[in-house]
Amino acid sequence: MTWLRLRRSPVAPAPGRRLRCCALGWALAGLLAGAGAAEFRLPPISGRLSGHFIPLQLAGAPELIWSLTLESRAENERAGVLLADAPGTHLRVEVQLDAAGEGTWRVTEGRVELKPWLNGQLTRGSVGVAGAGRWQGGRLSGDLTLTLQQVELGELLRFADAEHTYVRTAEGRVEGTLGLRLRDGAASAGDSALTLPPGTVGTIYFQPSPGLLTSYVPAQVRKLYPGIAAIEQGLTPLEAKVLRLTYHPDGDARGRGARLRIEGRPRDPKLVAPLELDVNFTGPLESLVRKALDSRLRVGGAK
């Protein structure tokens, strides 16, 4: 049986040194165990670790100042609390570890103000964080739910479509949830739903994109609603009182990857007519959603 003794060093770490969150001790123990030890067991330690951590490789992401407090409650049980704070950000995570240094984690408090992140690309709004999972083999797994509040529609679309491929400008507010999957240390989008708050109106000016909406609408409907083509060609903006997007990376019960519900009208008075669309799609709009949710997600980046 191999035991690892940890002692507090009286020497402060060199300036600029960064620790990879609470994984440092466990990773070191794993290396020792892999070097020939038949079995590794986490000793009954209690104490506090702290350091700096960049959780996502996003431009402008602030460093989190974190601390981990561990307490040995029994021979094979270690309980701890991980705190992480940055400007406008507070996270509290409870962890339970076994003698092998593996176990579970659960977010009990989580709130992130968006403005300090992403180099100011999102100037207002906040995100609530909840979730749970496991720490095993030196990697995180689990599921997080991010609850968006008071996010600007135009800023969110510019962030999602940085090349302005589909959207020219947009106004309004967005709320809803984004799912985040953690699998063996890799992050990807989970089930998500975004919508306009009830009683509000969103305005979207599309780039000329023939077929963006009409490709999902029967020909007879296009004849009755010529404003659909005008909207997707950027001739008039869409004024929506209902704009709801749901996303299922594995497909829902009917195999749909994404679903868009629109209730609104063209702004052009010559094309004024009630517009209601319930679009189930797997084409360019789904590709945009998947790219927006997945392309900027990378876990890690500790220095």
pLDDT tens digits, one per residue of 64-82: 899 989 888 777 788 999 9
- CA 162 to chain centroid: 17
Between 291 and 4, the more confident residue is 291
Helix/strand/coil for 108: strand
- Interval 229-288: pLDDT, tens: 888 899 989 899 999 988 888 877 777 777 888 888 888 777 766 677 777 755 555 555
How many Cα atoms within 13 Å fall on the side-chain side of residue 1? 6
Does 175 or 23 have the greater pLDDT score?
Answer: 175
Other beta carbons less than 10 A from residue 269's beta carbon: 7
**Is the CB of residue 272 less than 8 Å from the CB of residue 243?**
no
pLDDT at 27 over 50: no
pLDDT at 300: 38
Other beta carbons within 10 Å of 212 = 22
- Who has greater pLDDT, 146 or 115? 146
For the segment 194-231, what is each residue's pLDDT rounded down to a tens digit? Answer: 999 999 999 999 999 888 878 777 787 777 777 888 88
| 97 and 103 Cβ atoms separated by less than 8 Å | yes
> Among 107-111, 161-165, 178-182, 294-298, whose mean pLDDT is lowest?
294-298
Could you please report the per-residue DSSP string of 38-93? S-EE-----EEEEEEE--B--TTPPPEEEEEEEEEEETTEEEEEEEEEETTEEEEE
Domain boundary assignment for the chain: 41-137, 157-303
In this prediction the pTM is 0.73
pLDDT for the residue numbered 144: 95
pLDDT at 179: 94
- Res 155 pLDDT > 80: yes
Mean pLDDT over all residues of the chain?
76
